[in-house]
Structure 1
Amino acid sequence: MVFIQSYCEANTSISHTWVDEGIAPCFYFTLVPSILLSISFFLGTVHCICYQKYGTSMEPKFIPRSRLYGFQLALTVLLLLQFLGGMVWRAASSGELPGYVVLYSCFSTLGWAWALALLRVERWRVPLMDRTRGHSTALLVFWALAFSAENLAFVSWYSPHWWWDLETTQKEVQFALWLIRYVCTGLLFFIGLKAPGLPRRPYMLLINEDERDVENSTQSLLGRTEENQSTWQGFRKKVRLLVPYMWPRGNIILQVLVLFCLGLLGVERAINVLVPIYYKNIVNGLTDGSSWHTVASTVVIYVGLKFLQGGGAGASGFVSNIRSFLWIRVQQFTNRVVQVRLFAHLHSLSLRWHLGRKTGDVLRSIDRGTSSINSLLSYIVFSIFPTIADIVISIIYFVNFFNAWFGLIVFICMTLYLSKCRMLKDNYKTETQLPSLKLHCCEKVIAP
């Protein structure tokens, strides 16, 4: 016989948010499912209405077959079974069931069932004027908040009301259920950024790709290549293709310049960390009444670091300008090697090919392809990798000097920001496909 005597457990109340060095379980397991159910219901309902009103059913031949999509469905079903199984197990083991446990299981089941339905809708229906790729904002926000909510359990690491000590069988089972939720929500979020079960291109391009046009045929070839390889695989392919041009073989001077530029990148990362630290030391010195000599030396060091860093993120600093100046010779080496290979490839083509092409268009494509390769190489080396390094350094710094909660906040914020940037990049790439096609053609020529 199962009894529900009170909403919260004995000697606790839902108004108590922080109990014994941790979040109160009654408050946590009431707030989290309520927020997730609200988001999944309201955003999901609006999304389904838009898909039903402004969308159309996709033809089965345009829906990609993906095992990862089946894995997404399996993870969602596993979460649904976990919520129901946890409530049944607790009722059978103790006989007394708090009200918040029933609410948590019911609300979580409804929220994840609605997310499962929305996942199915996105696979079989698509807006006619869709210009983006990937899952909707509703699903991504739902998965991100669910994963973030499971990370909140780490805040209550020292609380005896949670399961971290594993002293009883009940706590061991609760820990196992939490581990299932943590792994499943994390995998759903990170797999959702890739969106394996959705088309890689807008639906209007898929249904119009039978037109007989040179650019459309090239786009079809590019689309089939993108369907057969993931975004990460394409990124690795570009990196492997461009690394030989970043490391010039047979030229010791240029190799030393490359190493020196990479060292300046590390110096920039260190300066970005030291500038706010010395700014804090200046404020503390002025408020704590430190000696004039200490404050003056700190200000001088701060001004020197700010001169090296430059304004904002260091785009116009002394170190950045020196690195850009030294990298010019590496760019010139890349231009020379790529253009020589392109001209050698053109000279090896047949006379019929040259008679059917305009020389001006070919030279223009060569120039644009070479500049695109240089831009992509500089973007990978001096933008992507430094940004990832800055994020990792900031997370480590916040975790060491504050606590893991601040590091988690930085990680979640940057993950959501990068996922949004990926959606905008995909939208822009769809609008401007011709330059990417020229870069793709140049990659085919210069590939060793």
Structure 2
Amino acid sequence: MFCSSNETSASGGMIVWAENGFTLCFFDTLTTSILFGFIFIFGLIQYIYYKRYGFKIEREYVDASVLYVIQVILTILLACEPILLYATESTAFGKTKIPGYTIFRCVLRTIAWLLALLILRVERSKRTPTSQTRGHGLTILTFWCISVLIELFTIISYRSPLWFIQPIVRGGSPIEEIDIIRFTYWIFRLISTILIFCIGLRAPGVPQRRYAVLLNRSHSQIEEERAQENVWVKFFQHFKTLAPYIWPSGHWGLQINIFICILIVLAGRLLSLEVPRYTKLITDELIQSSNSTTDTLLNLGARLRALHSWPWRLVTILMVFRFLQGAGVFDAGALGILRTTLWTKIEQYTTRSLKLRVFSHLHHLSLSWHLTRKTGEVLRIVDRGTDSVDSLLTYVLFSIFPTIADIIIAIIYFVVQFNIWFGIIVFATMFVYLVSTIVITEWRTKRLVHIAKMSQRYAWTSRKFKKEMNKYDNAMSGTAVDSLLNFETVKYYGAEQYEVTQYQDAIEKYQKAEWINQLTLQLLNISQAVLIGIGLTVGSLYCAWLVNIKHELTVGDYVLYGTYILQLYTPLNFFGIYYRLIQQAFIDMENMLDLLDNQPTIVDSPFAKDLVITNGMIEFDDVCFHYQAERPILKNISFSILPGQTMAIVGPSGAGY
């Protein structure tokens, strides 16, 4: 049987609409046919065209990107999802008679997403002479768009009991496990298709310029663009370098500290849910008690019953949770204080290991390298670089990941306990908020910054804010330190005013870059406040309507929603700041690792033989030496020093001998 019995008419035909929604058989058959038919026809045409007329792009002109890797992973997961769903329905729940449309859906959707993966790979590796687009082709973009629309159209049938959404949305009937499983799969498909479509608009795996333009770029230009675009690729490369200094190998006490900190973070996610829930319980208890008439409290028995209903246990538990959680977002609670105390040892280990590693590396570098670098600037880079690693770990582990986890927990909780619309409101608000924050922050990093003032007009160039500020900060620090270190020389030439002017110019350049950075930061904060306000207003109005008009929720539910959402939105106010600080930490870390990439020009050979002294004579045979290539010191020098002789090498004044 292709459709189940309740989805088939008496004449044997397929029922399209039943009980306030499409039938699953009709919806899955239609959408699967559209999805598979589109990618099979147009995808096959594009594949044949690329195979016949396309030419392969050399590997060096294809940018590596983590977003492209995410694209591929999501496509593979979406190809596996129909198989997993079919296996779950048929095996895990012992369903003996599987309708034919589920097999139809499983096979064709899997093939459709595998074809999409094939097109994705072809567009990455080949281009056609007439290809004008700087992104994905129309075929794959339309396929992703159709996939998103299919998952969104599911909401049309949310009131139908034939669907898996109705028990969760309305709460009128008991929720079965199979409905929860199907709902989970749907949430996964919805989020995955939206992500893959949004990533596809940027096309991270496809060259952003025509191949003819790519061929005219030099290797240095390619490397420079990759360095600017592939922040996350560089992060994972740097993480491999820093991993030995982050994980305290051989220090069992510090490793236990790390595991305890992780448990504290997980406990904090539980408290974030329990605090609003207990607030709701207390509110409902107090309202129920206040509804009792004063006449019933005139006798002793009524008073004893009222005393028994006093929610002192709930209040006590809530206060304990508040004590553990804290009132703010800066680890003010007992758990946060404990986590900060334990993590301090980890930070000290990382800072100590990195500083010793960099300090030792600097001493092994050649004198020629030190002569070309400013001591103050190098020390500034080392200090900022070691601090950035600690900051990066703290921001990611204790700010970003907990915030994302809280959002996921909140969406699931509101869908299960309230209805699906609360989950959609929270998801839409969070999704738009996070995307806009990242987009605006990325725009800020590439915004036009002031670099020169010529003929009363400003010259502008597209350079990254933080790198520009770092450069000016390093120059400012290096100018001051080097000027003071060479105090005698400055005094000798009477150049005090010149040094002050140079230092003033460095400060002004830094402050101009800093001012533009702060200006765009306020724009980011305003956009965040507007989005949070809209989401909170829509959710609060809908919740109040369900309480006052529909009588489906209680006042405690309204208090729970407001408390939970405000608690959830508060860390989001700092998400843009954390994202910006993480970018700053990336740059500081890269500057420090660039120091480690410098290799000494003179390295002892591992196969060097031990010095064996025979007759005590020293012989120089055609020796050349220099610190800097443009300033040779010894040129083809040959001489011998016999035992007991003393020899001095004297050159012209200023030669640096």
Cα deviation for residue 338 of structure 1 reads 0.9
Size of the alignment, in residue pairs? 302
Q: Equivalent residue for 2:203? A: 197
Cα deviation for residue 331 of structure 1 reads 0.7
Q: Distance in 2 between matches of 1:19 and 1:313?
A: 49
Q: Equivalent residue for 2:607? A: none
Q: Equivalent residue for 1:273? A: 273
Q: Distance in 1 between matches of 2:415 and 2:253?
A: 41
Instruction: Confirm whether residue 223 of structure 1 aligns to residue 225 of structure 2.
Output: yes
Cα deviation for residue 185 of structure 1 reads 8.4
Cα deviation for residue 354 of structure 1 reads 0.7
Preserved contact between residue 309 and residue 320 of structure 1 (Cα < 8 Å): yes
Which of the residues 402, 410, 434 maps onto 2:426? 410
Q: Distance in 2 between matches of 1:185 and 1:280?
A: 31
What is the identity percentage for the equivalent residue pairs of Structure 1 and Structure 2? Answer: 32
Preserved contact between residue 415 and residue 421 of structure 2 (Cα < 8 Å): yes
Q: Which stretches in structure 1 are left out of the alignment for 5+ residues?
A: 1-17, 26-62, 76-122, 126-141, 163-181, 208-216
Indicate how the Cα distance of structure 1 residues 438 and 304 shifts in structure 2: closer, same or farther if over 3 A, else same: closer
Q: Distance in 2 between matches of 1:243 and 1:389?
A: 24
Cα deviation for residue 403 of structure 1 reads 3.9
Higher RCO (Cα < 8 Å, 6 or more apart):
1
Q: Distance in 1 between matches of 2:588 and 2:231?
A: 20
Which of the residues 321, 327, 331 maps onto 1:311? 327
* Structure with more helix by fraction: 1
Indicate how the Cα distance of structure 1 residues 153 and 183 shifts in structure 2: closer, same or farther if over 3 A, else same: farther
| Alignment root-mean-square deviation, CA | 4.8
Greater Rg by CA = 2
Cα deviation for residue 337 of structure 1 reads 0.8
Cα deviation for residue 281 of structure 1 reads 0.8
Preserved contact between residue 66 and residue 197 of structure 1 (Cα < 8 Å): no
Indicate how the Cα distance of structure 1 residues 302 and 359 shifts in structure 2: closer, same or farther if over 3 A, else same: same
Q: Equivalent residue for 2:161? A: 158
Preserved contact between residue 398 and residue 406 of structure 1 (Cα < 8 Å): yes
Amino acid at match of 1:439: M
Q: Distance in 2 between matches of 1:331 and 1:351?
A: 32
Q: Equivalent residue for 1:420? A: 436
Amino acid at match of 1:297: R
What is the DSSP-based 3-state SS (H/G/I as helix, E as strand, rest coil) of the residue aligned with 1:378? helix
Indicate how the Cα distance of structure 1 residues 23 and 414 shifts in structure 2: closer, same or farther if over 3 A, else same: farther
Cα deviation for residue 383 of structure 1 reads 1.3
Indicate how the Cα distance of structure 1 residues 291 and 253 shifts in structure 2: closer, same or farther if over 3 A, else same: farther
Q: Equivalent residue for 1:382? A: 398
Indicate how the Cα distance of structure 1 residues 323 and 222 shifts in structure 2: closer, same or farther if over 3 A, else same: farther
Q: Distance in 2 between matches of 1:184 and 1:388?
A: 18
Instruction: Confirm whether residue 441 of structure 1 aligns to residue 446 of structure 2.
Output: no
Q: Equivalent residue for 2:485? A: none
Q: Distance in 2 between matches of 1:305 and 1:194?
A: 40
Q: Distance in 1 between matches of 2:588 and 2:64?
A: 29
Which of the residues 436, 442, 445 maps onto 1:429? 445
Q: Equivalent residue for 2:375? A: 359
User: Deviation per CA, 1:223-243, whole angstroms, max 9, x where unpaired?
Assistant: 32355x584x45544555555
Preserved contact between residue 64 and residue 198 of structure 1 (Cα < 8 Å): no
Does 410-419 or 380-389 show the bigger shift?
A: 410-419
Preserved contact between residue 21 and residue 157 of structure 2 (Cα < 8 Å): no
Amino acid at match of 1:378: T
Q: Equivalent residue for 1:149? A: 152
TM-score, normalised via structure 1 length: 0.54
Cα deviation for residue 124 of structure 1 reads 6.7
Instruction: Confirm whether residue 401 of structure 1 aligns to residue 417 of structure 2.
Output: yes
What pairs with 1:87-126 in structure 2 (closer than 5 Å)? none
What is the DSSP-based 3-state SS (H/G/I as helix, E as strand, rest coil) of the residue aligned with 1:248? coil
Q: Distance in 2 between matches of 1:360 and 1:319?
A: 40
Preserved contact between residue 309 and residue 316 of structure 1 (Cα < 8 Å): yes
Q: Equivalent residue for 1:136? A: none
Q: Distance in 2 between matches of 1:419 and 1:295?
A: 42
Does 350-359 or 401-410 show the bigger shift?
A: 401-410
User: Deviation per CA, 1:98-134, whole angstroms, max 9, x where unpaired?
Assistant: xxxxxxxxxxxxxxxxxxxxxxxxx979xxxxxxxxx
Amino acid at match of 1:272: S
Q: Distance in 1 between matches of 2:262 and 2:64?
A: 39
Q: Distance in 2 between matches of 1:183 and 1:395?
A: 13
Preserved contact between residue 155 and residue 405 of structure 1 (Cα < 8 Å): no
Amino acid at match of 1:442: M
What pairs with 1:175-194 in structure 2 (closer than 5 Å)? 189-194=194-199
Cα deviation for residue 147 of structure 1 reads 7.2
Amino acid at match of 1:190: L
Does 307-316 or 191-200 show the bigger shift?
A: 191-200
Preserved contact between residue 147 and residue 189 of structure 1 (Cα < 8 Å): no
What is the DSSP-based 3-state SS (H/G/I as helix, E as strand, rest coil) of the residue aligned with 1:316? coil
Preserved contact between residue 21 and residue 158 of structure 2 (Cα < 8 Å): yes
Q: Distance in 1 between matches of 2:196 and 2:239?
A: 22
Q: Distance in 1 between matches of 2:358 and 2:268?
A: 36
Q: Distance in 2 between matches of 1:66 and 1:362?
A: 31
Cα deviation for residue 382 of structure 1 reads 0.6
Indicate how the Cα distance of structure 1 residues 327 and 291 shifts in structure 2: closer, same or farther if over 3 A, else same: farther
Q: Distance in 1 between matches of 2:193 and 2:270?
A: 35
Cα deviation for residue 244 of structure 1 reads 4.0
Q: Distance in 1 between matches of 2:193 and 2:334?
A: 43
Q: Equivalent residue for 2:352? A: 336
What pairs with 1:24-173 in structure 2 (closer than 5 Å)? 146=149, 149-153=152-156, 155-158=158-161
Amino acid at match of 2:382: I
What is the DSSP-based 3-state SS (H/G/I as helix, E as strand, rest coil) of the residue aligned with 2:255? helix
Preserved contact between residue 355 and residue 382 of structure 2 (Cα < 8 Å): yes
Cα deviation for residue 429 of structure 1 reads 3.0
User: Deviation per CA, 1:120-167, whole angstroms, max 9, x where unpaired?
Assistant: xxx979xxxxxxxxxxxxxxxx9999577334245144269x9xxxxx
Q: Which stretches in structure 2 are left out of the alignment for 5+ residues?
A: 1-16, 24-60, 76-131, 135-144, 166-186, 214-219, 290-304, 447-463, 468-583, 598-657
What pairs with 1:292-311 in structure 2 (closer than 5 Å)? 292-293=307-308, 294-311=310-327
* Structure with more strand by fraction: 2
Indicate how the Cα distance of structure 1 residues 237 and 407 shifts in structure 2: closer, same or farther if over 3 A, else same: farther
Preserved contact between residue 246 and residue 258 of structure 1 (Cα < 8 Å): no
Amino acid at match of 2:196: I
Q: Distance in 2 between matches of 1:416 and 1:322?
A: 34
Preserved contact between residue 21 and residue 160 of structure 2 (Cα < 8 Å): no
